[in-house]
Amino acid sequence: MIEVKNITKSTKEGRQILKGISFKAKKGDFIGILGPSGAGKTLTMRCLNGLTKPTTGEILITIDNQVHDIAKNKGKELRQMRQKIGVVFQGFNLVKRLSVLENVMIGKLGQINQFRSLFKGFNNEEAQKAYEALEKVKIEKLAKRKVASLSGGEMQRVAIARAIFQEPVILLADEPIANLDPTNAKKIMKRLKPLSEEMPVIGVFHQPEIASKYCNRIIALKDGTVVYDGNSDISEDLLMDIYGDELQEIENQALVSAPLA
Amino acid sequence: MSMLVCNVSLGALSKGIVDGIAFLGEMFPPDFSALPDMIYPAVETIMISFLATFFGALLSFFFALAGASNISPMWLKSISRFFMATERALPEIIIILLLVAALGLGPFPGVIALAIGCIGMLGRLFSDAIEEVNAKTIESVQSAGATKIQVIQYVIIPEILPSLISNTLFRFEVNTRLSVLLGAVGAGGIGYEIFYSFQLLEYERATTAILVVLLLVFMSERVSDYFRKKILSNTKLK
């Protein structure tokens, strides 16, 4: 469970980018965050996993029945919280020269003792669990391959497996399908959806039609505020409202990908 | 002007050439009976080079970590980079002479001198390789709660391994050549053999030693080429 309470974020020059964003997410939610460029989508995501500190506001995350505020935590506490937040990035961000399985196991580095990771590495039980995480995204056959030899879609699935292996209480996905072709984008969405039965899944998406098809809730941002928060049945008028002039461009892209998506 | 400063004189040159040819005559034929005496110094040279490369690469790696802007704080980076640049600016022979003065003669000061000599070049190359590691990959591993040491172990080292290996092997070749030079100032090895033979005016023996040096340098290049190819082909994309 995650509760975002009225977060704001200003630049050093004092320009306010996030102007008070609030929402709650619980198990079962697969939230798609939409919005034109510059609306503050990625910045919101960075705040949610503590990569950026909001200027004001609270981000309450429930871990083991205890409520923590990631906006306040630093150092060790922040590291401990992050272990419980799975993140999938647009650029996959995997270690290219390690194997698929090793990349998945990296997800748990924060949860094992520093001394052990330095001298012993992971044990068999952990390797087994990492393998199971790969099975969940149906990519276990590639476990021994070097990541550098995979395609973009496969890499993103490895990244999801890494996030699953962390056993997070929440999964964040920052434009997870932006670098993928429509077929692979669809596959990734299909893998993300069932995960929302175990934890809230929050993703930033560029393609409203894909988001409304797979997500069960849409949050739309515009100029740093929430302009829509509701079911994924979004109307053309609403899209026009959110995106304005950008809508035409987005729909053109959608046309290209429509036959496959 | 420069001709005056350097005392250039055609007369001296022509006389020098004649003397030089006569001297070359004295160096031939090589005295191969001295070959068995060369084996131990040759092995010593290789060992000095090997140990120096090993410790030098290790030292360089730590300096490189300290000198890479993506994982090291600004002040530490500046200190490390300054040290590496200074070391690079000093010719090896000066470091060797300083260390011989400080630690005395023998192979051990030689190893230390050559190991320190690695830092300027290897440290810089490693450091640049570390800075090329994708910052987002580092960030993503940190966002899973990993510590800095874990980031170094699981992201930095695997990503820069090819650069670590191929540059270290190259440095091994350089160190083999340098350890010959080192011998001439008293750190033992085959270099000392050449120096010693010249002093005894046994030029034919010196020729043999020079041939052994050539052989060593060629061999070290072949060996390092072999390993480079072997290791790098393993890390290539499949």
* Angstroms from B154 CA to nearest CA on chain A: 7
Residue to test with chain A: of B70, B140, B156, most A Cβ within 10 A: B140
Q: Which of A10-24, A169-183, B92-106 has the lowest mean pLDDT?
A: B92-106
Separation between Cα atoms, residue B197 and residue B205, nearest integer Å: 6
Closest partner residue to B154 (CB to CB) among A49, A95, A114 is A95
Closest partner residue to B147 (CB to CB) among A50, A93, A114 is A114
Contact (Cβ atoms closer than 8 angstroms) between residue A34 and residue A219: yes
Q: Which amino acid is at B5?
A: V
> In the prediction, which pLDDT does B237 show?
41
Separation between Cα atoms, residue B138 and residue B152, nearest integer Å: 9
Token digits of residue B225 = 């080429």
- The answer to whether the Cβ–Cβ distance between B150 and A117 falls below 8 Å is yes
Percentage of residues in chain A with pLDDT exceeding 70?
A: 95
> In the prediction, which pLDDT does A259 show?
46
Max avg pLDDT among A3-12, A252-261, B36-45: A3-12
Give CA separation, B97 vs B25, B89, B120, B183, B189, in Å.
Answer: 33, 15, 17, 11, 16
Separation between Cα atoms, residue B151 and residue B233, nearest integer Å: 25
* Angstroms from B163 CA to nearest CA on chain A: 12
Separation between Cα atoms, residue B30 and residue A34, nearest integer Å: 82
Q: Which of A66-75, A147-156, B60-69 has the lowest mean pLDDT?
A: A66-75
Separation between Cα atoms, residue A51 and residue A170, nearest integer Å: 15
Separation between Cα atoms, residue A239 and residue A242, nearest integer Å: 5
Query: 10 Å Cβ neighbour count for B205?
Result: 24
Kindly indicate the confidence band of residue B126, based on its pLDDT and cuts at 50, 70 and 90.
very high
pLDDT in tens, A156-203: 889 889 888 888 889 999 888 887 888 888 888 888 888 888 889 999
Which chain B residue has its CA at the smallest distance from A105's CA?
Answer: B154
Token pair 């000599």 is found at B117
- Sign of CA pseudo-dihedral A87, A90, A95, A101: positive
Residue to test with chain B: of A84, A97, A142, A170, most B Cβ within 10 A: A97
CA-wise closest residue to A93 among A166, A213, A170, A176: A176
End-to-end CA distance of chain B: 62
Chain B residues whose C-beta sits inside 8 Å of any chain A C-beta:
134, 136-137, 139-147, 149-150, 153-155, 158-159, 161-162, 235, 237-238
| pLDDT over threshold 80, residue B96 | no
Which chain B residue has its CA at the smallest distance from A159's CA?
Answer: B140
Contact (Cβ atoms closer than 8 angstroms) between residue A162 and residue A103: yes
Separation between Cα atoms, residue A247 and residue B46, nearest integer Å: 69
| pLDDT over threshold 50, residue A119 | yes
CB-based contact, A97 to chain B, within 8 Å: yes
Separation between Cα atoms, residue B39 and residue B212, nearest integer Å: 9
Residues of B in contact with A117 (CB under 8 A): 149-150, 153-154
> In the prediction, which pLDDT does B236 show?
47
Contact (Cβ atoms closer than 8 angstroms) between residue B45 and residue B194: no
